[in-house]
Structure 1
Amino acid sequence: MRRNALSLGVLIAVVVVAVQALLVPLFAAPAANLAPRDLPIAIAGPPSVAAQLEEQHPGAFDVHTVGDAAAADAAIKDRDVYGAILVSPAGAEVHVASAASPTVSALLTQAAAGLGAQVPVRDVVPLDVDDPRGTGFAGGFLPLAITSLLAGVLVFLLVRRRSARLLALLSYGVLAGLAAAAVLQGWLGILPGGFVAVAGALGLFTLAVAAAMTGLAAVLDKGGLGLGALTMFLVGNALAGIAAAPELLPQPWGEVGQFLPIGAGATLLRSVAYFDGAGSGTALAVLTTYALGGLLLTLIGRRGLAPGSAPTPHRPADRPGLVPAA
């Protein structure tokens, strides 16, 4: 028995170290290799401007040619591009949207510096004045993801009936969205946008995470909890690109992150809060798929009790020497 316990302890240590060896590069590698990769930007000016950018930064930008500053700003506000470089006889100018990504805004400003000294920069869609670096926006997602994951686990472990699980998950999504919006907008004041729209985006995100966790567990038991935590939280958080942008991460991982709840949730909330919902279509579809898929798995999972059923009471076996009552 003692030898078995020692062997189990060594096995646990090996497994944990192996997981650690995988997680460290998963988080560190994307952060250490941030660089623009086919980053969509607009350019208004001579064709030589795009050629000069490509020569100085090969493969960094996906250039959209526009006619003037108004068209460039429209593309930024529609989230078709992250920013624009405008070149006219009067000189060069850079338009950015720090609300889309403060990191990208800084990169575009640096890239435009190669066009000449003292290039003016105009922030078309700025971040909230109470969150000028966007750190509050990025920091708000980790606790939401953790609590939503925990909610999904608790619903699976403590709520047995399928109908009750569905009610618990839907209630959590609504309440979590309202509470998170109230904190971020009313208390901290770091997020603009309409309250209902922001609460809806946050509620869908939290429901997607919680429902997926409960649904996976309902089908795969505790293995589903491990799978959900690994893919949606550990991998999803590393590949979300919340503080930077998906196009700055090594590909295809930046794109993969947008098909996981944290990446999609950040994109949806950013679009709703700062861009009147522009560019939110894919993120909305991804989160809706996770939410509905999780609820469906919860409904059909074999781990819950059917509605209206009750557990069979335990009947102790007859003990010797006792005579059943007549």
Structure 2
Amino acid sequence: MPSTTAKRVAGVIVGVVVVQLVMLVAFSWPAARSAPRDLPIVVAGPQASAVAQRIEQERPGAFDVTTLPDERSAREALADRDAYGAIVTTPQGPRMLVASAASPAVAQLLRQIAQNMAPAGAPAASVDPAASVDDVVAADPDDPRGAGFGALALPLVMSSLAAAVIVSFALRGIASQATAVAGIAVLGGACAAWLAQDWLSVLPGAYLTVAGTMALAIASVAGMITGLVAVLGRPGVALGALMFLLLGNPLSGASSAPEMLPQPWGEVGQWLPPGAAATLLRSVAFFDGAKAGAPLGVLLGWIVLGALLMVLGGLRGRRAEPAATPSGAPAPAH
């Protein structure tokens, strides 16, 4: 085997193995290090301050505890997505409130904590954990563990990446590419929402709102990668896959919660389309749009940035055409 060929083969082997390792780390590391980190919860009732101090002493850094006066305000905090759960102190003993729609994984964690909240003097074996836990905003009954919801992010990202590649190399011109991206986003969002709601039954909420959210998610990824290709060429595909597939998807918190991921990566994930789309979907599907402003702004920002890159790439292409035309034109006759 010639030395040049051998070096090329070795380079391909090393490159593929590096990509495999990066993918393994990106997808397995957040799951392996999943734990609460400043997870917002509420403690309410007459003994709220004492319970809050105990939680912070026993689990330092795990929870961001806010004290509220009563159960009503605690329920409002969960419905407004200000907290994932609440401990309500009562004369009969503490009660746990959860919002499994915000994160079934976090709700399960809080249920485990509720098992250790037996009233004073009662043997732990005699306490029914389910009786002391109230699910204020429940997950979809057909997807109680959130497995179906968590599985939505990866197909949306991968299909949007594939759409961007097809649009970038099959169509020419800013108008054609932008129209194609918009059409794919609208039709893809409508079909994905139907699939998630009517067939898989993993999302409640108004169909048009869910479809619009999925359309924004598709447009943010497909439009941005199309713009990167317009400016950078083929390397734009690799850069888009790195940002949205290898980083954005595992850091989205779709299957758990951003506060369950290693920091600051949980926060970083919310600035990328997969994380913003998952958060926005939860808000519009389960919480009547509570806390929808920030993720909506993130998705719109990526869409605008992608459109600007497409325009920039189109302008650069037009400037390059006059310079290339004379070299290919026939020499003038004398």
User: TM-score surpassing 0.5?
Assistant: yes
Contact 2:168 2:226 in 1 (8 A): yes
Aligned with residue 219 of structure 2, among 204, 207, 220: 207
- The one-letter amino acid paired with 2:202 is I
Contact map agreement 1:221 1:303 (CA 8 A) in 2: no
Are the counterparts in 1 of residues 173 and 314 from structure 2 also a CA contact under 8 Å?
no
CA distance in 1, matches of 2:270, 2:172: 33
The alpha-carbon distance between structure 1 residues 187 and 18, as it changes in their structure 2 partners (threshold 3 A), is closer
- Structure 1 residues 52-78: Cα deviation after superposition (integer angstroms, max 9, x where no partner): 111221111101111111111111011
Q: 1:9 maps to which residue? A: 9
| Corresponding residue number in structure 2 for 1:165 | 177
Q: How far 1:313 sits from its partner (Å)?
A: 12
- Structure 2 counterpart of 1:78, which letter? D
| One of 76, 79, 82 as aligned partner of 1:80 | 82
Deviations 1:1-27 (A, max 9, x none): 832111101011112222333332222
C-alpha distance in 2 between matches for 1:138 and 1:314: 54
CA distance in 2: counterparts of 1:150 and 1:18, whole angstroms: 22
Q: Partner of 1:35: helix, strand, or coil?
A: coil
User: 60, 73, 92: which is aligned to 2:94?
Assistant: 92
Question: Residue type of the partner of 1:292?
Answer: V
Q: What is the Cα deviation at residue 302 of structure 1?
A: 4.4
Does the 8 Å CA contact 1:163/1:299 hold for their aligned counterparts? no
Which amino acid counterpart does residue 50 of structure 2 have in structure 1?
S
Q: Which moved more, 1:8-17 or 1:108-117?
A: 108-117
State whether residues 105 and 145 of structure 2, in contact with CA within 8 Å, keep that contact through their aligned partners in structure 1.
no
- Of 67, 70, 73, 1:71 maps to 73
Percent identical pairs in the alignment equals 47
CA–CA separation in structure 2 for the residues paired with 1:163 and 1:317:
31
Alpha carbons of structure 1 residues 208 and 52: separation in structure 2 relative to 1, 3 Å: same
- The gaps in structure 1 that reach 5 residues or longer are 319-323
Asked if 1:229 is matched to 2:241, the reply is yes
In 2, Cα distance between the equivalents of 1:165 and 1:240?
27
Instruction: Find the counterpart in structure 1 of residue 121 from structure 2.
Output: none
Deviation at 1:113, TM superposition (A): 2.8
Determine the C-alpha separation between the residues in 2 that align with 1:166 and 1:128. 35
**Contact residue 218 and residue 303 of structure 1 kept, 8 A:** no
Length-normalised TM-score, structure 2: 0.89
- Code of the residue aligned with 1:123 in structure 2: it is D
Structure 1: 4+ residue segments shifted above 4 A: 302-306, 309-318
Residue type of the alignment partner of 1:5: T
TM-score (norm 1): 0.91
- 1:178-197, aligned counterparts within 5 Å? 178-197=190-209
The counterpart of 1:53, out of the listed 36, 40, 55, is: 55
CA distance in 2, matches of 1:300, 1:85: 53
CA RMSD, Structure 1 to Structure 2 (Å): 2.3
Provide the rounded CA distance (Å) in 2 between the counterparts of 1:108 and 1:170.
41
Q: Is the 8 A contact 2:105 2:256 kept in 1?
A: yes
What residue is the counterpart of 1:321 in the other structure? none
Q: How many aligned residue pairs are there? A: 318
What is the distance in 2 between the residues matched to 1:135 and 1:230?
A: 24
| CA displacement 1:172-218 (0-9 Å, x = unmatched) | 11111111111111222221000111011000001001001100111
Q: Which of 280, 293, 298 pairs up with 1:268?
A: 280
Alpha-carbon distance in 1 for matches of 2:286, 2:326: 56
Decide which moves more: 15-24 or 223-232: 15-24
Cα distance in structure 2, aligned partners of 1:280 and 1:91: 35
